[in-house]
Structure 1
Amino acid sequence: MGPLELHEYAALDAVGLRDLIRAREVTAAEVEDAARRALSQVGPELGALTRPLFEPALVHDPDGPFAGVPFVIKDSGPFAQGVPFTLGSRSIQGAVAAVDHDLMARFRAAGLVALGQSTAPEFGLSFATESVRHGVTRNPWDPGRGVGGSSGGAAALVASGAVPVAHANDAGGSIRVPASCCGLVGLKPSRGRTPCGPLTGEAAFGQLVEFALTRSVRDTAHLLDAVSAPPVGDKYQAPAPARPFAEALRTAPGRLRVALATAPWSGTPVDPQVAAVTVNAGKVLEWIGHAVTETGPDLDADDIVEAAMLSVVSTGGAVLRGAPRRPDPASLEAVSRAVLAETEAFTALDVLAAMEAQDRVTRSVGRFFLAHDLLVTPTLAALPAPHGTLAYDAPGQSARSWLRRIFAHGPFTAAFNVSGHPAISLPLGQSREGLPVGVQLVAAHGREDLLLQVASQLEQAVPWADRQPPVFVD
């Protein structure tokens, strides 16, 4: 095949690149060189990298199932041993990960070639990747709009073709929201499907899940197979799949009971274009042969906000415990200052009340999936937001008021962090302006296989692989 041209590299997903390397049509070194050129081309334009590329790439297993496939890690805390992290904050200086996160160890074992670190909002507290420390991360579909958050830099780099897959995590929508904004596949696995150790036994009271962003369903399935062995010592463990997730893609799931909901439990208005794409997804599912009814789980929006406070104060607690000294308030963004103050004021009774709210949400969602196999909703209530819409330094924000504000933009995602159910965002439509519109699918706990089977059906019926944003490699 010869040297790998950038347009050839960017057109391939992770499985495609892996197969080229295995067939010896290209070498892993040639793929890495193309990835470095791609990242250098679009990374600065999009503001999606926190630092220069790693030289050399981080150590990885050359015989892993994704050997030679480039990716990036997210600046969301201590993740890769020896790599500095900032959590997008000016208050964190000189912090370096002492050990690998358990998921990073699995990424290395899978053979993924870590070449850089992607941007995230300060402490991951926003659906807008716009930090004072790293600036605005721009959307490759429209540089005047945001990429979502908190895995925004990762989404920008995957959508622009710089890497086929990128580390991401999700405590309230932080995989699915950027996937919707950037036209990607974003799976939030079930609670306990991927590891959260060794520094914690449960992340954000079980609401934070680690995984990745991709451009194809098959990449998501194969990657989940590579990294989702039972997490040793973690408090939560999802049931093992009956067969590999990638193998499940080869068979149809049968006729499913599908619920369709376009109105969020908070009552937030939904952009008509977003709702229309979701309704069309329901029609496609009916055409495939599934039974679709308009209904949704009975959820209390106040319970979701109250339960999500556990994730917020868990973040604040991690910052306060992990810092050698209390961060200087002057170096923090407004919402972060509020979160740290409220974390210190949060009492044991507050924790118990939030845990009770989490239990109510979890039970309600669990009961819903006794009568339904799948829930379909919009991922966001709106199109990707222009920069500054979710202004991070807005005055007078409390942690709760901030949650309500960002949940008005993305009201459909956090419930399933609270409940622990798997959910995936798929790029099933575009707006009149050419912006991506994501549709969220949710299934019973442990049923990523079902989500991926239906996602594969939708990918074949409403293909998105040929869509490329204006800012794309080469």
Structure 2
Amino acid sequence: MDIDEYRRHDALGLADAVRSGEVTAGELLEVALHRADAVNPHLNAIVQRMDDRARERVAGPLDGPFAGVPFLIKDLGQDYRGVPTSGGSRPLSRIPAAEHSTVVQRWLDSGLVIFGKTNTPEFGAKGITEPDLFGPARNPWDASRTPGGSSGGSAAAVAAGVVPVAGASDGGGSIRIPAACCGLVGLKPGRGLVPMGPSVGEAMHGAATNGVISRSVRDSAAMLDVLAGGEPSGPYLPGVPTESFLSQVGQDPGRLRIGVCTASSINSEPHPEALASVEAAARTLSDLGHDVEMLTEQPVDDLALARDFLATWFVVLAWQVDDAKRRTGCRDGDFELDTQIMAALGRAHSSVEYVDTVMRRHEHVRRLSAFFDGYDLLVTPTLADLPPHIGALDTPRLAHRAATGLLKTRTAGLLRRSGLVESMIDNNLNWIPYTQLANLTGRPALSLPLHRTPEGVPMGVQFISQLGGESMLLRLAGQLEQAVPWDHRRPPVPAGAGRPR
């Protein structure tokens, strides 16, 4: 199988080819490895290769719905026994994982052949993927731009045709943002449906979840079938539908009541292409027979929600830094300066303030639940702006200098009152103000690649459902995939990316 044929198949298609004897798992792996060799120097999507482990795996029997399909996992929270999980952080880059994460074990049980780990920002703490440790990942559609974050390496690898689907995770948009930046499908499952263990029961009080980024709706559905369900060490026994998620793709979603909103208190002037993406989607949804209503304001105060999101993020990051210091004996200076700033902001919150922040989630949930009394779905842009150019969101030098001084004097309270939080909301969430809502409320959300700029830069459209809405999202996504197909589009192929030698 050559690279052109390989890229024409999604993961289920490749699994069918292995099952039928058209190609072997070993042959597929060599195509994927050759493709990775060709494109990764341009994109920096893969930061750890596991070629020998993968070759050993394909030498033996494989079983499951994805048997023989090459796969990449994210270098954050997706542990592979014996391989370090760096989380984009230098202090953690030399500690081998003691056991497989539950999701990694489920991927292996499904027959996938894991041959590497993908780039991510330090601790997954940004919507871009530019860690100091590995350097920036780049967008295959425009290498001067970010592939998004924090699952940016996975999205870049899928868009470039290294693998048809890759492991990802989402604590504030980290599946949907990269999917939108790279023209892919990104489904964030609802709270508790996919396990985070066995080392932790949940992350960020349930706001974060594991998943995948793919090219096809059916791959995302079949992957959810692989991943969904509780585990003995988990905090919940999630309700999994009796019918498979894959079976929903191709079914009629029925006539849905859809509220469409582009308004944001964080970004009052979204990019014209962000508006165009949603306007085009609204027309398509209407043509498909759905009841579509354009809304003038979000159902939840997104600026208040952003403050609560960042407060949670900063406090959790402070714990992650302290935990890494306990595990490795490293010092604060071993982390990126932006990480040190965010951790200091987290430490500046009192315990009561932090609990207050977490408890306000109930208000956001109730307001969103009230919205769903009248609608089946909320539709927004996934991105409020084009994917930023590499380095565009670097903290300004003057702000870095001021923050460094405050960190040295350990005046974190002053750091918090300096206006830095508002600046970070403006600089880092301004282009992605729509995704955190689904995380803090625990609702399923999906980004679909329904729009491109005249220059060919992808722009996604986000669909948020009420609890348990994954099946409905997949039914609608399958309908839209037929109405506005996207998988025929391919980014430019770097030289030397053809048939393996």
Give the TM-score, by structure 2 length.
Answer: 0.90
| C-alpha RMSD over aligned residues | 1.9
Post-superposition CA distance 1:354-386 (Å, at most 9, x none): 112222112211221121101111000011111
Distance 1:234 1:403, change over 3 A: farther
Partner of residue 383, structure 2: 380
8 A contact 2:128–2:152 mirrored in 1: yes
Amino acid at match of 1:347: S
Partners of 1:81 and 1:136 in 2: CA distance? 26
Please say if 1:39 is aligned against 2:39: no
Partners of 2:336 and 2:395 in 1: CA distance? 7
Deviation at 1:320, TM superposition (A): 1.4
Partner of residue 169, structure 1: 169
Larger CA deviation: 420-429 vs 95-104: 95-104
Post-superposition CA distance 1:244-282 (Å, at most 9, x none): 111111310110101101122434321011111111101
Partner of residue 459, structure 2: 437
Partner of residue 354, structure 2: 351
For residues 167-316 of structure 1, the aligned pairs below 5 Å read 167-295=167-295, 296-316=298-318
Larger CA deviation: 141-150 vs 463-472: 463-472
Post-superposition CA distance 1:51-79 (Å, at most 9, x none): 33431218597111111111111111461
Residue 51 of structure 1 aligns to a residue whose secondary structure is strand
Partners of 2:231 and 2:422 in 1: CA distance? 32
Amino acid at match of 2:314: V
Partner of residue 470, structure 1: 492
Amino acid at match of 2:345: E
8 A contact 1:77–1:87 mirrored in 2: yes
Partner of residue 360, structure 1: 363
Unaligned residue ranges in structure 2 (runs of 5+): 404-419
Deviation at 1:182, TM superposition (A): 0.4
Distance 1:104 1:399, change over 3 A: farther
Partner of residue 415, structure 2: none
8 A contact 1:307–1:358 mirrored in 2: no
Deviation at 1:306, TM superposition (A): 1.4
Distance 1:29 1:251, change over 3 A: same
Larger CA deviation: 420-429 vs 357-366: 357-366
8 A contact 1:207–1:311 mirrored in 2: no
Residue 461 of structure 2 aligns to a residue whose secondary structure is strand
8 A contact 1:338–1:399 mirrored in 2: no
Partner of residue 410, structure 2: none
8 A contact 2:77–2:101 mirrored in 1: no
Distance 1:237 1:287, change over 3 A: farther
Larger CA deviation: 85-94 vs 203-212: 85-94
Residue 409 of structure 1 aligns to a residue whose secondary structure is coil
Partners of 1:404 and 1:389 in 2: CA distance? 13
Deviation at 1:312, TM superposition (A): 3.4
8 A contact 1:376–1:439 mirrored in 2: yes
Unaligned residue ranges in structure 1 (runs of 5+): none
Partners of 1:325 and 1:222 in 2: CA distance? 38
Partners of 2:343 and 2:265 in 1: CA distance? 28
8 A contact 2:302–2:437 mirrored in 1: no
Q: For the pair shown, which has the larger CA radius of gyration, 1 or 2?
A: 2
For residues 98-113 of structure 1, the aligned pairs below 5 Å read 98-113=98-113
Post-superposition CA distance 1:142-192 (Å, at most 9, x none): 111111101001000000000011110000011100001100000110011
Distance 1:91 1:233, change over 3 A: closer
Post-superposition CA distance 1:380-428 (Å, at most 9, x none): 0011111111115752565664344221110000111000000011100
Amino acid at match of 2:201: G
Please say if 1:15 is aligned against 2:12: yes
Post-superposition CA distance 1:90-112 (Å, at most 9, x none): 23342121111111111111111
Larger CA deviation: 197-206 vs 294-303: 294-303
Partners of 1:307 and 1:134 in 2: CA distance? 27
